[in-house]
Amino acid sequence: MTTLLLRAYTPQATVHDHDHHQLVLPIRGHLDIQVGSHHGTVVTGECVIIRPGESHLFHAKDAARFIVADLDYLPDNLAASQRVVFSISTLLMNYLLFLEAQLQGEVDKHIDQLSIALFLGLLEKQTCDQRVDRRLLRVLDIMNAQLEQPHDVASLARLAHLSPTQFHKVFRDNLGVSVKQYLTARRMERARAQLIHTDLSVQQVAEAVGYQNLSAFSRRFSCYFGQSPREMTRQYSSLTPAND
């Protein structure tokens, strides 16, 4: 059985263990951890994996808040990982912020079950063998939240407190792609989602992901997905039942 709890840890730390898997995901502040032989700090945008019987303790230095997930099993992608701490996706982080509000509201077993199912579904899509350099975490949050902006490398490098040359290297070493490739991928995925799930026009979608020139957007989209924005819109519109 999986349970999700919202917790705040006090400065007092006690060593303990349990017979189930546990994930700890900060949503406010940070904490120092000791899990087995691993010692370190965990911040927002990261996740700690604690396995059954593994001694651990947490020590929070400020008004930290965490989502704690107790699980009977780990999804295969997490179970196969050797990491104790890994970086989570922006999608999962956004969902945790929703959960923070949900877990403080009225108890509803049906909604709780749906919330847990979605949480597990997002975990199964998580790449967990990656821990992104913390200097990039705020940069990635801003890039993903403001895809309509140009995001020149010099400005992003300043946010990470790196020179442009250092930033290029750290970014590629951590993400496996260049800044331009990363932005293009995020913009195309966001554009596809908006074309499928909203009634925005192609022009509005293009502008929402940073393209003022509709032709340039359509060319990039077609190269990325193998069909034009209008073709994708028609394809998914044909699958949607008409309203009576």
Domain end, chosen from 93, 124, 155, is at: 124
Q: Are 88 and 46 in contact (CB under 8 A)?
A: yes
Q: Are residues 115 and 156 in the same domain?
A: no
| Residue 21 domain-assigned (yes or no) | yes
Q: How far apart are CA 9 and CA 65, in angstroms?
A: 7
Residue 129 domain flag: no
Last residue of a domain, one of 124, 147, 176: 124
110 with 206, same domain: the answer is no
Q: Are residues 217 and 105 part of one domain? A: no
Do 82 and 166 lie in one domain? The reply is no
Judgement on whether residues 228 and 152 belong to the same structural domain of the protein: yes
Q: Is residue 35 part of a domain?
A: yes
Residues 166 and 85 in one domain: no
Read off the pTM: 0.67
Report the 10 Å Cβ neighbour count for 81: 16
Domain count, the chain: 2
Is 242 contained in some domain? no
In-domain check, residue 244: no
Counting beta carbons within 10 angstroms of the beta carbon of residue 6, is it exposed (0 to 12), middle (13 to 18) or buried (19 or more)? Answer: middle
SS3 86: strand
* Token digits of residue 174: 């951590």
Does residue 93 fall inside a structural domain? yes
**Does 87 fall in a domain?**
yes
| Distance (Å, whole) CA 109 – CA 192 | 33
pLDDT (tens digit per residue) in 114-162: 999 999 999 999 887 677 888 898 898 888 889 999 999 999 999 999 9
CATH number for position 143:
1.10.10.60
**Last residue of a domain, which of 74, 101, 124?**
124
Domain range for 210:
134-237
Per-residue pLDDT of the chain (244 residues; tens, 9 = 90+): 889 998 876 666 678 899 999 999 988 878 888 998 888 888 888 899 999 999 998 887 667 788 999 999 999 999 988 889 988 888 898 899 888 888 877 778 888 889 999 999 999 998 876 778 888 988 988 888 899 999 999 999 999 999 999 999 999 998 889 999 999 998 998 899 899 888 899 999 999 999 999 999 999 999 999 999 999 888 887 665 554 4
Bridge partners of 3, per DSSP, are 70
Assess whether 119 and 210 both reside in one domain: no
Quick: pLDDT tens for 130-143.
778 888 988 988 88
Under a CB-based contact definition with an 8 Å cutoff, are residues 59 and 9 in contact? yes
Tell me whether residue 110 is in a domain.
yes
C-alpha dihedral over 239, 215, 221, 190, to 10 degrees? -80
Shared domain for 14 and 94, answered yes or no, is yes
